[in-house]
């Protein structure tokens, strides 16, 4: 390879690496065998450690959306991400029969089954993967919902 071809190759590599956009958290989920719609569109940023699987997702504040039931994302959502699983989830709650329960694990055992499992502590809930095809819009609020089922300021008008 002559010097000119070598320089052109280096230039192309540098150009592509400079202007390529980083992977979104939604693309990361998809690459790890999970649906991209598990996290809202309003994700501000995220950190992922490929060595230990630790995923931290940052939002501008707590936000409320709906899959099958209402779901609350805290300002920071943490989990251990491995292929097809989010384990030791923190910062995500789901409303069940007027009670807010923390989501502990999310897994897709077989993508062809069309089922995703949510472990909410007392039970595993099976939901259709089709609910998670696209990242949902999430309404950023000023308050939190506590786990006793009572709504604090900020989301009282959502009912």
126-157 pLDDT, tens digit each: 999 999 999 999 988 744 555 444 444 444 44
10-44 pLDDT, tens digit each: 666 655 544 445 789 999 999 999 999 999 999 99
**What are the backbone angles phi and psi of residue 17, rounded to the nearest 5°?**
-70, -30
CATH number of 25-158: 2.30.240
Separation between Cα atoms, residue 63 and residue 93, nearest integer Å = 11
Give the chain's radius of gyration (CA, Å).
19
37-93 pLDDT, tens digit each: 999 999 999 999 999 999 999 999 999 999 888 999 999 999 999 999 999 999 999
Global pTM reads 0.76
């Amino acid at each position: 390879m002559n010097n000119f071809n070598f320089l052109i190759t280096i230039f192309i590599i540098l150009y592509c690496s400079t202007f390529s956009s980083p992977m979104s958290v939604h693309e990361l989920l998809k690459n790890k065998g999970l649906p991209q719609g598990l996290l809202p569109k309003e994700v501000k940023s995220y950190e992922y450690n490929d060595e230990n699987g630790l995923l931290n997702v940052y939002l501008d504040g707590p936000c409320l959306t709906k899959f099958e039931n209402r779901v609350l994302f805290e300002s920071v959502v943490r989990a251990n991400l491995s292929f097809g699983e989010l384990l030791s989830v923190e910062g995500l709650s789901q409303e069940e029969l007027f009670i807010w329960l923390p989501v502990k694990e999310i897994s897709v055992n077989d993508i062809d089954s069309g089922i995703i499992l949510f472990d909410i502590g007392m039970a595993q809930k099976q939901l259709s993967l089709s609910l998670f095809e696209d990242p949902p819009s999430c309404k950023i609020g000023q308050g939190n919902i506590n786990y006793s089922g009572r709504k604090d300021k900020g989301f009282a008008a959502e009912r």
